Amino acid sequence: MRVAIVSLCCLCLFAESDRDQQRAELAKLADQASVLSRAFGLIHELAAPSVVSIHTREQFRVLNRSEMRAEVRQVEVGEGSGFIIQSDDKASFILTNAHVVCQTNSQQRFQFDMAGKPLTYASIGVATNDNRTLDATVVGVDIQTDLAVLRISEPNLPTVVWGNSDLVRVGDWVLAEGYPFGKGYSATAGIVSATDRSTGIYNGVRGFEAFIQTDAAINPGNSGGPLFDLRGEVIGINANIISPTGSNAGLGFAIPSNLARRVAEDLLDDGELSRPMIGVEIQELAAEDVAGLGLSRIHTLGIAKVVPGSPAEKGGLLAGDVVLAINKLPIVNWQQFRAKIAATRPGEPMEFKVWRNRAAVDAVLIPISENQLTNRIGVTLPGFGLLLGGDDKAGLAILHVEPGSLGEQAGLTPGDRLLHERTAGAMQSLDDVRAIANQRELVLQVIRSGRSVWLRLRR
């Protein structure tokens, strides 16, 4: 019996010794982990004064039954987040999502005025971290990147620091900040789970999608808020989620900071975006075909056509080239390609690497603005949002359709061909297009996928 008692006591001593070792090891690990916790805390302390809550209101006419008269009332219709990107002695400027401040319908599609401009809400209010509420005005909106810049008349506010989204890698820790569910300022942590991700959410406006995907919690109200890296620099703008419930399910998406910064700077300068163009048509190649060219199967972006006189032609790109990289960053899909172009300023050199005749070829392109390119290659019908160009085929090619325009609403897409206009007759030259540019109504015969259709466009 004594032997049993002694053995039990020894076991207890050994067990307690093991627990002491475990506590000591845990204390060391906790000290190490506290470094990451402190980093998150510092990011919060630095960023919180620059992150704002945005509330939108709309005017509605209602009947006051007791007095039998109509009244105009403002009703809160939405909320989101934003962050201060610039501030001076007179005012401060905030970046947010376009869908936070622009009107959308029940299908979440942007609404436009008679001039084709996105409709913003009647009143936009900004609440700062120290509980001040300020009226905001819209400086500029770009729906294709889902970004908007606001102005508030509050000077000398703290601003964020931009990071380089091209350096973001899967596994990087990030912190998402904003005002979800109207419950006040909140910070959530996670990792980057994917880059250059496309969800199709901007397809309706032919938007640019090369999202940073994260499992940091993003919820309704977070839209427009910043996504920070561990250096406390903004590497993304929280934009949307995929979820069966409408709340966070671990799939959040942020607009890369390099694209957002370029758009924001243009909107600050001019209130509108000068979009760069290089003048190529792109086709997706089958993985088997790419492998047959001696390439990795992930590089499937081929150049189908180079526009004569374009930056692409001057830079030496050829039809049949396969795009490998832009500015030394690998390019593997169409949305990533478009986003990289959009993040570049007109006139800023771009280094291309393409695959040609089983060898890598370098080329330097100088993109020009969309307006410069369209003036070179075709004629616009600005009231209808169409750019038309001539070639050796019957009719005129539709080269570009402005998002939200009458042309887009009628279902026209690049690649369709315009054959006739009811009153003007056959469309055979660019001069024929110029002759109908001032008409208020067009009835067009269009060839689409081999079928002839008639469409009416009225402005």
> Is 99 one of the catalytic residues?
yes
CB 125 within 8 A of CB 134: yes
- Identify the CA nearest to 309 among candidates 274, 283, 276, 279: 279
Q: Is 89 a catalytic residue?
A: no
Exposure string of 264-296, with b = 16+ CB inside 10 Å and e = fewer, is bebbbeeeebbbbbbbbeeeebeeeebeeeebe
Q: What is the largest CA-CA distance in the chain?
A: 114
Q: Minimal CA–CA distance to 84: which of 4, 165, 150?
A: 150
Helix, strand, coil tally for the chain in percent (to 5): 25, 40, 35
H or E element at residue 62:
strand 51-64
Catalytic entry in 50, 55, 99, 432: 99
Distances (CA, A) of 408 to 193, 401, 455: 34, 6, 12
The residue among 96, 251, 92 whose CA lies nearest residue 179 is 96
130: annotated active-site residue: no
**Is-contact 346 294, C-beta < 8 A?**
no
Q: Which of 50, 81, 146, 432 is catalytic?
A: 146
**Interatomic CA distance for residues 420 and 428, integer angstroms:** 9
Spatial contact of 314 and 347, defined as CB atoms under 8 Å apart:
no
Long-range contacts of 46-49 (CB under 8 A, 24+ apart): 46/232, 47/83, 47/160, 47/175, 47/177, 47/187, 47/226, 47/228, 47/232, 48/129, 48/177, 48/185, 49/128, 49/129, 49/130, 49/157, 49/158
**Active-site position among 87, 92, 198, 223:** 223
Give dist(CA 43, CA 9) in Å, integer: 50
- Of 207, 196, 193, 172, the closest CA to residue 252 belongs to 193
As annotated, the active-site residues are 99, 146, 223
